[in-house]
C-alpha cells in the first residue's frame, strides 16, 4: 500500500522476479533438509555414545530389505564408520526381492553383509515343536533371526541395533524376543512418516522407500493389511492420542488404535518382578 501525493491510498503490486522466488523456495527447502540432516547426525551421535558406553566396537543390524533397516544401517554407518557395521540378511522362505533389496541397502552404505538362509532351519524347528497356530509359527522366524544377530554381535563385540519405529512400537507390532530383542532403538521415537522423510534425506534408494512395508512373516503379508489400516491413519491416530487432540480422527480408528496400545503395553516393558511383602 502507498499513499499518493493527492492523499489517496492505492495498492502497490509486488512483482518479484521468478529467479528470486525460486531462490526463496530453495532456501526454505535447504532449511528443512538441514533440520532433518541434523536429526540424522543427532541419532548417529547417540548410537556412537551408546555403543562406546557399552564398551563395544560397532553395530550389527538385521537387513530385511525394508525402509526401517535401510535407515538404521545408514545411520549406523554414519555413526561408527562403515567398517564397524555388519548387515545380516536372514531370509526364511523370503522373496528374492527382499534379499535383493537388503543387498542394495548394504551396497548403498558400503557396509559388509552376510547372508544365512534360515528356511530349512525354520522348517526343522517347527517339526520339532508341537503344532502351533499361524501366529505362533510365524513368530518363530524373527526369534531365529534374533539368535543369529546376537551370535554375530557377541562374536564381534558389537551391539544389536534394532529397526523398530514409534508407530510399530506403540501398537506392539513386533515380536517379543524376536525383532523386539535388541540393544538400541535409534528410530524408536520416529513415526513411520518421519522415517520416510529421513530415508529420503540420507539417500535410501527410492524403490526401498516406496515398497509396501512387510514383516515377511508369510507369503503376501503386508504390515498395513495385518494392522487393518494405513500407516498414515495409524500415525494420525497415535499423534492425536499423544497430544490429546483427537478432533478429525475417525472414532472407529481411534478406538482400535487405543486398544492396540493398551493391550500391548507388556511388550514395551521389562518382565515384572515379584516383590514379596515385607514381614
CA 196 to mean position of chain CA atoms: 9
Beta bridge partners of 184: 161
- DSSP code for 81: -
How many degrees, rounded to 5, is the angle at CA 37 between CA 33 and CA 38?
120
CA distance 148 to 90: 8
Instruction: Give CA–CA dist 174/160, Å, rounded.
Output: 16
Per residue of the chain (279 residues), give pLDDT as tens: 444 444 443 433 445 455 544 554 565 556 566 566 699 999 999 999 999 999 999 999 999 999 999 999 999 999 999 999 999 999 999 999 999 999 999 999 999 999 999 999 999 999 999 999 999 999 999 999 999 999 999 999 999 999 999 999 999 999 999 999 999 999 999 999 999 999 999 999 999 999 987 766 666 777 787 788 999 999 999 999 999 999 999 999 999 999 999 999 999 999 999 999 985
* 122 grid coordinates: 525354520
Residue 53: per-residue pLDDT: 98
Helices (H), the chain: 18-53, 67-80, 96-109, 119-128, 134-156, 166-170, 192-202, 206-210, 223-227, 231-243, 251-263
Structure confidence at residue 7 (pLDDT): 46
Structure pTM?
0.84
Residue 55: count of CB within 10 angstroms of its CB: 8
Amino acid at each position: 500500500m502507498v499513499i499518493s501525493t493527492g492523499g489517496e491510498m492505492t495498492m502497490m503490486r509486488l512483482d518479484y522476479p521468478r529467479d528470486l522466488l525460486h531462490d526463496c523456495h530453495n532456501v526454505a527447502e535447504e532449511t528443512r533438509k538441514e533440520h532433518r540432516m541434523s536429526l540424522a547426525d543427532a541419532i548417529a551421535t547417540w548410537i556412537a555414545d551408546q555403543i562406546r558406553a557399552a564398551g563395544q566396537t560397532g553395530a550389527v543390524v538385521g537387513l530385511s530389505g525394508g525402509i526401517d533397516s535401510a535407515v538404521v544401517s545408514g545411520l549406523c554407518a554414519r555413526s561408527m564408520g562403515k567398517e564397524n557395521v555388519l548387515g545380516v540378511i536372514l531370509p526364511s522362505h523370503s522373496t528374492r526381492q527382499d534379499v535383493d533389496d537388503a543387498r542394495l541397502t548394504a551396497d548403498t552404505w558400503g557396509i559388509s553383509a552376510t547372508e544365512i538362509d534360515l528356511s530349512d532351519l525354520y522348517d526343522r524347528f517347527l517339526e520339532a515343536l508341537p503344532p502351533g497356530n499361524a501366529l505362533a509359527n510365524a513368530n518363530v522366524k524373527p526369534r531365529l533371526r534374533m539368535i543369529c544377530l546376537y551370535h554375530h554381535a557377541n562374536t564381534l563385540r558389537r551391539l544389536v541395533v534394532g529397526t523398530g519405529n514409534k508407530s510399530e512400537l506403540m501398537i506392539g507390532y513386533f515380536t517379543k524376543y524376536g525383532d523386539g530383542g535388541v540393544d538400541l532403538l535409534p528410530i524408536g521415537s520416529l513415526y513411520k512418516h518421519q522415517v520416510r522423510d529421513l530415508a529420503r534425506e540420507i539417500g535410501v534408494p527410492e524403490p526401498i522407500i516406496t515398497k509396501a512395508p512387510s514383516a515377511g512373516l508369510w507369503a503376501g503379508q503386508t504390515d498395513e493389511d495385518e494392522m487393518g489400516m494405513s500407516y498414515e491413519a495409524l500415525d494420525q491416530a497415535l499423534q492425536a492420542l499423544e497430544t490429546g487432540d483427537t478432533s478429525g480422527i475417525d472414532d472407529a480408528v481411534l478406538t482400535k488404535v487405543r486398544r492396540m496400545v493398551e493391550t500391548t503395553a507388556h511388550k514395551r516393558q521389562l518382565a515384572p518382578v515379584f516383590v514379596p511383602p515385607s514381614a
